[in-house]
Structure 1
Amino acid sequence: MVTYFEATLAQLSVHRVGNKGLNEFYSLSDNTLRIEDETLRRLLMQYFLSPFEKAYEVFRFTHSSDDLNLNELFHFSSMIFDDQSAFHNLSGQITKHLFNISNHPKIKSGELYIATFRDIQLEGELVDAIGIFKSETKESYLKVNPEEGGFALSYEEDAINITKLDKGCLIFNSEKEEGYKVIVIDQTNRTDAAYWKDEFLQLKIRNDSFNKTNITLGVCKDFITNKIDEDFEISKADKIDLLNKSMKYFKEKGSFNLDEFSEEVIGNPKAIESFKNFSREYNEEFDAGLDQPFDISGAAVKKQAKVFKSILKLDKNFHIYIHGNKDLIEKGFDEDKSMNFYKVYFKEEQ
């Protein structure tokens, strides 16, 4: 998690980048932007950094050749950290690099802000950082101005909403040998926007406890909601029970162990074998490190708990929330009505 109450904005360059695939161009500014207005500086800090306050996933630069120096952003970032006087020239090189990979027809043109910051806090450490931010979405705003006898209305078109950063990344001057610590924001979240993280930055996720917890919970959810149907006939209530048991395990345990989780949560020997094969395939494909025990991250559990649904939806008439003992709910079929039914047992009505 990022906090920036001690941070300062050191340098800022603003350029514009178009879509190369649509025969658009890029435009580079001659100099860094001087910001004398403290209110503007504060608004820029909010626009650039506040979206990262709830970003937990930490990435690292990578390259298919395993030579980090061939990753353009790693190379440019290293040069900026080593020589701040080269910042503006290198910000132009970063803009050109983004332009050269902007070929998808849905990639929007926009302003590219490249900045350096001092004393951003990440994981309890004050670190200098480079920020790269792209604004693509423009909005119209109404302005109300007092005048004699009342008020006047005006508007401003093609303005930027400072609460909606489209794309951004923070590159921290920490752990250079492993590819730096990098945090990413991409609000568009579309398949065609993968160019930001995968092509422009070329990142891989860091194998820490947060990411391992987050990934493992995702694998468990995917197995229970999708994969288990291929091998077993299982009711929706039983699936919800497995999801609840999975979340309970992660909330109560201090560390994750694949064998222990399989025995305590999955239970059925054939289902355990199926789950282990499923997680093994994922681990081999993504090198996620899930085959070894790891400490469970409470922040990741809290994040995933929002998408672990325990709701049994019955047509459009009823929703049953299953939080506890699955044995207190029975499923049946009424021959006279030709309809399914659930029977629920309880002691008190609240």
Structure 2
Amino acid sequence: MIFYQEASLGRLAIHHIGNKAQDERFVLSEKPVELHDELLSKLLLQYFLAPYEKVPEVYRFFHGNDDLNLNEVYHFVTAIFDDQETFQENSRQLAKHLYEVSNHPKIKAGELYIAYFSNVQIEGEQHDAIGIFKSETKETYLKVYPENDGFGVSYEEQAININKLDKGCLIFNTNKEEGYKVAVIDKTNGSEQAVYWKDEFLKLRVRNDNYNQTANVMGVYKNFVTEKLDDEFEMSKADKIDLLNRSMKYFKEKDSFDMKEFGEEVIGNEQGIATFLNYKKDYENEFETAIPDSFDINDAAVKKQAKVYKSVLKLDKNFHIYIHGNKDLIEKGFDDGKAMNYYKVFFKEEA
């Protein structure tokens, strides 16, 4: 969903945030970090952005009074997007805001990084992005170096592992009126101290646009076919693959989704349709995410889901059959002599 291979890091500010509940203080830097070392910039890009390649959910800013400008983080990042010369001052305001909500006694002190990126890709489009990251976990590293006729060893304490980002968010400069597109990471264990990052500092809600709607209904249907159908019906794996292929065909060919039309054209069975609607309802209740009965289909979401829709029939360790089209051209049977299942495949030409 998020790619950074063409991204660049333009500005970086670092501040230290203590725990307000423990009477710890904060330290704000006056100037941004000088970024002249190319290797350091690459390492920082890896540290900040690599964890987002597998983040599936996209959020947006909100405020309880329906006025986005009252959301502090939205307000300060908007000021930076509007005028990058205000970057340092607004990074300081973001740090102060984080300190004010760090009221749980178990929240760890740490460095706060505010970064400005160019050319970060989300959902197939490149945008400028502002990153807000906090490092809380420190580690000790051994360093081995040549010495005389052999090697020496030393260590460095309170160092940061660039493969372990504790907390972060990426705010993309798009969909401003809806609260931007925001991706979040929070590796904190324990819900009480973790909630402050997403709910109190950032104030986020799951986005509910056509990308999210398309991805949700495709994901729910895939899980329904692969995990739920066996509880209700006797179906071969070839039949399941056919149902997935038919749904993919629907989403690729249609401009909009209609639940009734989808049930009739893809599932094609009244009992199956009813079972799917109940499964969808259970999903909505469990995750508190409504899936509307109709919406415009988002092509980027379809392409993403296509990567996890499987059309491969795996037979023991000997054969893989890829089913892309007409399921009627493959038949399953049982050979009494060999006491084994078999598939019969019909075709006109071989390539």
Q: Is the 8 A contact 2:121 2:127 kept in 1?
A: yes
Residue 10 of structure 2: aligned partner: 9
2:41 pairs with 1:38: no
Alpha-carbon separation, structure 1, partners of 2:344 and 2:31: 68
Q: Which has the higher mean CA deviation after the structures are superposed, 319-328 or 172-181?
A: 319-328
Deviation at 1:168, TM superposition (A): 1.3
Deviation at 1:141, TM superposition (A): 3.2
Q: Is the 8 A contact 1:174 1:181 kept in 2?
A: yes
Alpha-carbon separation, structure 2, partners of 1:94 and 1:4: 31
TM, length-normalised to structure 2: 0.71
Distance 1:144 1:175, change over 3 A: same
* Identity score, percent: 43
Counterpart AA for 1:38: H
Distance 1:233 1:263, change over 3 A: same
Alpha-carbon separation, structure 1, partners of 2:340 and 2:197: 49
Structure 2: 5+ residue runs without aligned partners? none
Please point out which of 292, 295, 298 is paired with 1:295.
298
Structure 2 SS opposite 1:162: coil
- Report 1:1-350 matches (<5 A): 1=2, 3=4, 5=6, 7-18=8-19, 24=22, 26-32=24-30, 34-36=32-34, 38-39=36-37, 40-52=40-52, 58-78=58-78, 83-84=86-87, 86-100=89-103, 102=104, 109-117=108-116, 119-122=118-121, 124=125, 126-127=127-128, 129-186=129-186, 188=187, 192=191, 193=194, 196-228=197-229, 232-235=232-235, 237=237, 238-247=239-248, 249-250=250-251, 252-253=252-253, 255-258=255-258, 259-276=260-277, 278-279=279-280, 286-289=289-292, 291-297=294-300, 300-301=301-302, 303-305=304-306, 307-308=308-309, 323-324=322-323, 328=330, 330=332, 342-345=341-344
Q: CA RMSD in A?
A: 4.4
Structure 2 SS opposite 1:257: strand
Alpha-carbon separation, structure 2, partners of 1:97 and 1:178: 26
Alpha-carbon separation, structure 2, partners of 1:236 and 1:199: 48
Q: Is the 8 A contact 1:280 1:291 kept in 2?
A: no
Alpha-carbon separation, structure 1, partners of 2:199 and 2:342: 50
Deviation at 1:91, TM superposition (A): 2.8
Q: Is the 8 A contact 2:91 2:114 kept in 1?
A: no
Alpha-carbon separation, structure 2, partners of 1:191 and 1:256: 41
Distance 1:99 1:233, change over 3 A: same
Alpha-carbon separation, structure 2, partners of 1:196 and 1:43: 24
Q: Is the 8 A contact 2:141 2:155 kept in 1?
A: yes
Describe the superposition over 1:162-181 as per-residue Cα deviations: whole angstroms up to 9, x where unpaired.
23323211224444332123
Deviation at 1:149, TM superposition (A): 1.5
Alpha-carbon separation, structure 1, partners of 2:228 and 2:117: 47
Distance 1:164 1:140, change over 3 A: same
Alpha-carbon separation, structure 2, partners of 1:236 and 1:64: 49
Structure 2 SS opposite 1:292: strand
Structure 1 SS opposite 2:151: strand
Describe the superposition over 1:9-59 as per-residue Cα deviations: whole angstroms up to 9, x where unpaired.
3340222345x7xx6565411424653462244433442234446667543
Distance 1:160 1:84, change over 3 A: closer
Q: Is the 8 A contact 1:17 1:109 kept in 2?
A: yes
